[in-house]
Structure 1
Amino acid sequence: MGDLQRPLSVKEISQQAQVFAFNPNVPLKSWLRTANMLHREAEAYLRDGNFAKAYMMYMRYTLLLMDHLQKHPDLKKDRDSRLQLKKAINGIESVIANLEKIKPIISNEYDKWIAGEEKRKERREKLKGEGKRTRTPYEQHASHDPSLSAAGRVLDAGEHQDLAVVLAQREMKRRDAGRLATRQAGVSAEEEQERRTAGFWDNWTHDLAEKQAEDDDLFRKQMELTRTKLDGTDDTHIQDFLQKMSRGEREMEAETAAYQGTPAAYNYPSISKSQPVSYEAQPYVSRPEPPNHPPPPPPKEFTADLEAPERPSKELYSTPPPSLLVTQPQDGPQPPPKISEMPASPPPSSKRLTFAPAAYLENGEPIRSIFLPGQLRQEFLRIAADNTRRGLEMCGILCGTAVNNALFIKCLVIPEQKCTSDTCETENEGDLFDYCMTEDLLMLGWIHTHPTQSCFMSSRDLHTQAGYQVMLPESIAIIWYIQTHQPPGLPHILHCNETATFHQHSIDNLYTGAEKPAGHVFESDKLEFEIKDLRPGNKN
């Protein structure tokens, strides 16, 4: 049970799925949001090829709907929630189908591990006399974490922030291009939701192998760059190459989908598939390299630096990467055609890259890393400036997605809201939920201002945050206030002459917040984000 490399069995994952605290005092509306969140997280893990975690999230979603929510006391008095629950239950068949397809994949991985356990047992017996290090609580929780089950490469997101952002932005571009192509093909929003993962199984072996090869290639180059830095040699040209490569990959995937009408990540049955184009790259195959091998040439080159059409309804903010000059490859090899049927065995999991949780709660619940765009807070302050001048609070919702077991905020949504000097209450939440559903977004937290108060969480704020953490334990809250003077904590304490062990101080605001506290949240200026304003008269 303690081997970190051991894949979990279907039975073990199912048992974990049943362990969650259901409280009927929490409104049914909040539980329906939680169910929706579980469903979207399961889809994200499925696209990443993390079948164990996807199975667990799908299973928990099913148990929540079928075993708990149908008995919720609010069903008798909340008609809208009752209709939403009925709609969710009507779509449970697609979830069951995914569970049935994932189950043999997990079983195969577990059976392979069991088959090799005898040899591992012999090796452990030989090392038995050398003593065994006591595992930390983190390692104990990690050994039971489905997100790390049979993962090929587990990395610390905090130590590989640039890599995490590059991989996430490439995957988010792929998903966005897929949704755009689907809508251009005339698929309705409801049908798109029902079939979001249906096309995954058509080409899953090829798509996952291609994605894993790209991740492996990028990781190799990142490690090569790190080694060069440690050697003290000049690495400017490598840094420029990595930036250009990552940008080129993202733009190629978006352009391919936008101009050819083919989803980059989703392959729905009703959408005709385009023929492979000559400038797509073959999956990377590692080859032995001689000592002191120079940096490899760029693996991908493109015919033109085109820009995919942007949706006019959103504003895009990011730190612009350097320009990229590209050339036409000569007589490049043609990639193999897409596989149209589900194969008998899954792609090798040894290449799957996963970011380890930043921490675990006492009950073993993982806390994944969250990446926050560096310019998002300032842009929110700009939007809230008019309210701030009038002494009114304002809030925004931090939305994003999961990639490689980390969370990335990619959209600041300004909901319709009623603002006072002490509160900001969201209104017409249906628009917010519909937008998140349509754009496949998770609500990862919220941000709001305190124009007339200090930086603290009121009792109302704490209850609001609890509602977010019911859905997602990693959820964050950001509070902005106008600081007119330095908090007097340190000067006041230095001038205090009281000697009793416990004594009172004459001021309340003693504490100064740390600029960058340790935790599971990382800021990155390289992470792009969009703004969506849902307020009447401001919708864009």
Structure 2
Amino acid sequence: MASINAPVSIADVVAQAGNYTYNAHIPLANWLRTASTMQKEAQVYEAEGNDPQTYLLLYRHADLVLQKLQTHPDRNQPQNRKALNAATTTVYSDLKKLETIAPRIKKRHEEYQENRGNQRDALQTLEGRGMRSLPQELDGLSLHDRGSKRASYDSRPTLDAQENHSLATRLAQREVKRRDTARRSVRQHGLSEEEEQQRRTGGRWESWQDDLAHDDNRGDLMSQLQEVARLQQIGQSGQNGTGRSYAPQPSARYTYSYHYPTVPQKSTEGQLSRSSSQSRNSYTGPARPPKEQIYRTSGTPSIPPLLPPKPPAAPRDTAFECPRPPPIPGKYTEPHPCPPPIPNKIPDNRPPTPSTELDAFTFKPSAYLENGDPLRPVFLPSQLRQQFLNVASSNTRLNLETCGMLCGILKSNAMFITRLVVPEQTSTSDTCETLNEEEFFNYCDKEELLVIGWIHTHPTQTCFMSSRDLHTHVGYQVMMPESIAIVCAPTKEPSWGCFRLTDPPGKQAILNCSKPGIFHPHDVDNIYTEARKPGHVVELVNAPLEIVDMRPRKKL
């Protein structure tokens, strides 16, 4: 992830963007969902003004779709071809955004380096005069242009997730409420879910897919591959020496002409009263009406007409006017004094919380992978586990596993689990398989939710990650490094755990594992680890949480 403490260079961002694990043995459908997740995260960071992280995700998305997925073994399957073509077309908009964002990243990095050099010179000067220390604000790692009217994203303070539970709860509650209000507003304006999704994507996917389905895409694909390769060279050099645009020009078949409707000219009486011999093409406007004839009596002097009476003034509503000053005794007495203003029904004595308080910070990484990459905080509602066990209780009594999906939102560089979705599934005492996954992912797209992890029960076993669980979870962690797996063992102690694969060696061992059978041992000992205490998962009290059960209702 791009640094949020100091402005970084284009070369640094490109190097981080290319640092991800790709494995062709993972199904193409999983990689396409990973690409979609990158798009969603990039939109959030772009709205928050985080240019480096937006650039990183969009660049990684272009590299994944154009460099890796075009040679995936599953690319020619009918169910994957249409989705891959749609993902390929989005690269056009990605490259255009990269062209817009790159100059801002470069400018902030150059200003930061210049300010840091000035501070280094000042430090050497002060040390020459015998000064042994400098104030904290002169530290080169916290330098920003304080004269700027608009603070950049890099200058926002970073907060520790473990020490700011209350602030994180309020942020989650406000963001969930804002999204619900926006969805209700769309519904009230009469937009269907299809129209809403079309406006959200802002494209004409059907036509693009039809065009791409009848063409092998070699011409456009090669030009895009060359563009990504040139961006890699630019990232290595740190600047754009050619001065050319980052984005290729789309071909002619992707250019659409929109014909806006015209408002018909209304007919007037002047047009209807014209003679039939007058040509329609020579019409310039309605005929001017004749002047009003004024009749005068002979011998009577001309008298100007009387002025029309003034319209009566509308009565003023004095309910909201300020009360008048008291009358002077003996001179004027107001017969009906203005009543005092109506007080609020429920006085609110709580100090108001400025809306900017919840937007003027970011959460810093709360943990790191074994390879040193930072992990964004994941806020887990404290009531989620018990509510999931309540949903799974009927299966647990029958010694059947139950699984659920942990979905949520990205805000201020942190993941908030806000919804527990129980998909359609089939279960045994040791396994749980989800069904109709397309319905689940369509639901997540419609609700703008990210898949942050999953949760499942071990009705009679202890709390651990089986080999089947490890192979299931690696797909989630490839899609998002912060993904977690929660195991609930209600009859054992400990009764639950929150885990992630080690990286390395756990993730690499599972990706390279080809042993047959559902349950089999692995040669790596340190294959997974706890994700909280210590870890990047933080429990939140009173955090918003919604339960959605997509399983079909059982007939009574």
TM (norm. structure 1) is 0.60
Selected match of 2:393 from 385, 405, 423: 385
Pairwise mapping of residues 9-408 of structure 1 onto structure 2 (< 5 A)?
9-76=9-76, 78-126=77-125, 150-189=154-193, 192-193=196-197, 195-196=199-200, 325-326=347-348, 352-408=360-416
Determine the structure 2 residue equivalent to 1:248: none
Query: Is the counterpart of residue 423 in structure 1 residue 431 in structure 2?
Result: yes
**SS of the counterpart of 2:465?**
coil
Q: Structure 1 residue 113: deviation in Å?
A: 1.9
Runs of at least 4 residues off by over 6 Å: 127-132, 513-516
Determine the structure 2 residue equivalent to 1:6: 6
Residue by residue over 1:186-226, the C-alpha shift from the partner in whole angstroms, topping out at 9 and shown as x without a partner, is 44545544654879xxxxxxxxxxxxxxxxxxxxxxxxxxx
Structure 1 CA distance, aligned partners of 2:530 and 2:79? 43
| Structure 1 alignment gaps of length 5 or more | 133-139, 141-147, 200-302, 306-323, 328-347, 488-512
Determine the structure 1 residue equivalent to 2:217: none
Residue by residue over 1:383-421, the C-alpha shift from the partner in whole angstroms, topping out at 9 and shown as x without a partner, is 111101111000000000111111100000001111111
Structure 2 CA distance, aligned partners of 1:95 and 1:101? 10
Aligned partners of 1:151 and 1:352 also within 8 Å: no
Identity of aligned residues (%): 45
Determine the structure 2 residue equivalent to 1:530: 546
Aligned partners of 2:531 and 2:537 also within 8 Å: no
Paired amino acid for 1:56 = L
Aligned partners of 1:109 and 1:150 also within 8 Å: no
Structure 1 CA distance, aligned partners of 2:15 and 2:399? 50
Paired amino acid for 2:540 = S
Q: Structure 1 residue 474: deviation in Å?
A: 1.1
Q: 1:396 to 1:103 in 2, by over 3 A?
A: same
Q: 1:54 to 1:196 in 2, by over 3 A?
A: farther
Residue by residue over 1:404-444, the C-alpha shift from the partner in whole angstroms, topping out at 9 and shown as x without a partner, is 11110000000111111111101110011101111111111
Q: 1:122 to 1:190 in 2, by over 3 A?
A: farther
- When Rg is computed on C-alpha atoms for both structures, the one with the higher figure is 2
Q: Structure 1 residue 31: deviation in Å?
A: 0.8
Give the total of aligned pairs: 358
Determine the structure 2 residue equivalent to 1:238: none
Selected match of 2:534 from 514, 518, 531: 518
Aligned partners of 2:460 and 2:491 also within 8 Å: no
Structure 1 CA distance, aligned partners of 2:463 and 2:47? 39
**SS of the counterpart of 1:371?**
strand
Residue by residue over 1:3-36, the C-alpha shift from the partner in whole angstroms, topping out at 9 and shown as x without a partner, is 9853012332123212212111211111111111
Selected match of 1:459 from 455, 464, 467: 467
Structure 2 CA distance, aligned partners of 1:3 and 1:88? 27
**SS of the counterpart of 2:154?**
coil
Aligned partners of 1:393 and 1:448 also within 8 Å: yes
Residue by residue over 1:55-77, the C-alpha shift from the partner in whole angstroms, topping out at 9 and shown as x without a partner, is 2111111111111111111113x
The worse-fitting range, judged by mean Cα deviation, of 28-37 and 105-114 is 105-114
**SS of the counterpart of 1:74?**
coil
Residue by residue over 1:264-288, the C-alpha shift from the partner in whole angstroms, topping out at 9 and shown as x without a partner, is xxxxxxxxxxxxxxxxxxxxxxxxx
Q: Structure 1 residue 111: deviation in Å?
A: 3.4
Structure 2 CA distance, aligned partners of 1:25 and 1:526? 41
Q: Structure 1 residue 127: deviation in Å?
A: 6.8
Q: Structure 1 residue 157: deviation in Å?
A: 1.0
**SS of the counterpart of 1:91?**
helix
Aligned partners of 2:49 and 2:153 also within 8 Å: no
